[in-house]
Protein backbone atom coordinates (compact mmCIF):
# COMPACT_ATOMS: atom_id res chain seq x y z
CA UNK A 1 0.00 0.00 0.00
CA UNK A 2 1.16 3.50 -0.77
CA UNK A 3 0.35 6.03 1.93
CA UNK A 4 -0.91 9.31 0.51
CA UNK A 5 0.92 12.37 1.84
CA UNK A 6 -1.01 15.60 2.14
CA UNK A 7 0.22 18.39 -0.13
CA UNK A 8 0.93 20.72 2.78
CA UNK A 9 3.18 18.08 4.40
CA UNK A 10 5.26 17.48 1.26
CA UNK A 11 8.79 18.78 0.92
CA UNK A 12 9.53 21.26 -1.86
CA UNK A 13 11.56 18.70 -3.82
CA UNK A 14 8.61 16.26 -3.81
CA UNK A 15 6.06 18.78 -5.13
CA UNK A 16 5.22 18.51 -8.83
CA UNK A 17 5.35 21.66 -10.94
CA UNK A 18 1.56 21.81 -11.37
CA UNK A 19 1.07 21.60 -7.60
CA UNK A 20 3.56 24.37 -6.82
CA UNK A 21 1.10 27.33 -6.66
CA UNK A 22 -1.20 25.39 -4.33
CA UNK A 23 1.74 24.28 -2.19
CA UNK A 24 3.02 27.87 -1.94
CA UNK A 25 -0.45 29.10 -0.97
CA UNK A 26 -0.42 26.68 1.99
CA UNK A 27 2.89 28.01 3.38
CA UNK A 28 2.98 30.28 6.42
CA UNK A 29 4.43 33.64 5.33
CA UNK A 30 3.81 35.43 8.63
CA UNK A 31 6.90 36.74 10.46
CA UNK A 32 6.59 33.88 12.96
CA UNK A 33 6.36 31.33 10.15
CA UNK A 34 9.42 32.74 8.39
CA UNK A 35 11.42 32.77 11.62
CA UNK A 36 10.35 29.19 12.29
CA UNK A 37 11.45 28.11 8.80
CA UNK A 38 14.83 29.81 9.26
CA UNK A 39 15.22 28.13 12.66
CA UNK A 40 14.43 24.69 11.19
CA UNK A 41 16.89 25.29 8.35
CA UNK A 42 19.62 26.33 10.77
CA UNK A 43 18.96 23.31 12.99
CA UNK A 44 19.15 20.95 10.00
CA UNK A 45 22.40 22.54 8.80
CA UNK A 46 23.94 22.48 12.28
CA UNK A 47 23.05 18.85 12.91
CA UNK A 48 24.22 17.73 9.46
CA UNK A 49 27.53 19.57 9.18
CA UNK A 50 28.62 21.02 12.53
CA UNK A 51 27.32 18.74 15.28
CA UNK A 52 28.94 15.53 14.01
CA UNK A 53 31.34 13.07 15.58
CA UNK A 54 34.02 13.33 12.89
CA UNK A 55 33.74 16.89 11.69
CA UNK A 56 35.61 18.34 8.78
CA UNK A 57 35.95 21.68 7.07
CA UNK A 58 32.79 21.21 4.99
CA UNK A 59 30.33 23.04 7.21
CA UNK A 60 32.61 25.95 8.06
CA UNK A 61 33.75 26.34 4.44
CA UNK A 62 30.12 26.53 3.26
CA UNK A 63 29.42 29.34 5.74
CA UNK A 64 32.55 31.15 4.57
CA UNK A 65 31.61 30.69 0.90
CA UNK A 66 28.13 32.05 1.64
CA UNK A 67 29.61 35.07 3.37
CA UNK A 68 31.92 35.78 0.41
CA UNK A 69 29.02 35.46 -2.05
CA UNK A 70 26.72 37.75 -0.06
CA UNK A 71 29.43 40.39 0.42
CA UNK A 72 30.15 40.31 -3.34
CA UNK A 73 26.45 40.76 -4.14
CA UNK A 74 26.20 43.70 -1.72
CA UNK A 75 29.23 45.47 -3.24
CA UNK A 76 28.53 44.60 -6.90
CA UNK A 77 27.20 48.02 -7.90
CA UNK A 78 30.34 49.69 -6.52
CA UNK A 79 32.60 47.15 -8.25
CA UNK A 80 30.73 47.61 -11.53
CA UNK A 81 31.41 51.36 -11.52
CA UNK A 82 35.08 50.78 -10.69
CA UNK A 83 35.43 48.44 -13.67
CA UNK A 84 34.40 51.13 -16.19
CA UNK A 85 36.67 53.84 -14.77
CA UNK A 86 39.81 54.63 -16.74
CA UNK A 87 43.14 55.10 -14.99
CA UNK A 88 45.49 57.50 -16.77
Domain ranges for the chain? 1-82
Return the pLDDT at 64: 92
68 membership: H or E segment, kind and range: helix 58-74
Which residues, at least 6 apart from 45, have a Cβ–Cβ distance to it below 8 Å?
59
Return the pLDDT at 68: 94
Return the pLDDT at 1: 47
Which candidate, 38, 12, 39, places its Cα nearest to that of 24? 12
Which residues, at least 6 apart from 10, have a Cβ–Cβ distance to it below 8 Å?
23
Instruction: Tell me whether residue 10 is exposed, middle or buried, using C-beta atoms within 10 angstroms of its C-beta: 0 to 12, 13 to 18, 19 or more.
Output: middle
- pLDDT under 70: residue ranges of the chain: 1-4, 55, 81-88
Return the pLDDT at 65: 93
Amino acid sequence: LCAAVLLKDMKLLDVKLGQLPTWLAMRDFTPGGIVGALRRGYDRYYNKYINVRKGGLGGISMVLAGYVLISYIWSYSHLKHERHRKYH
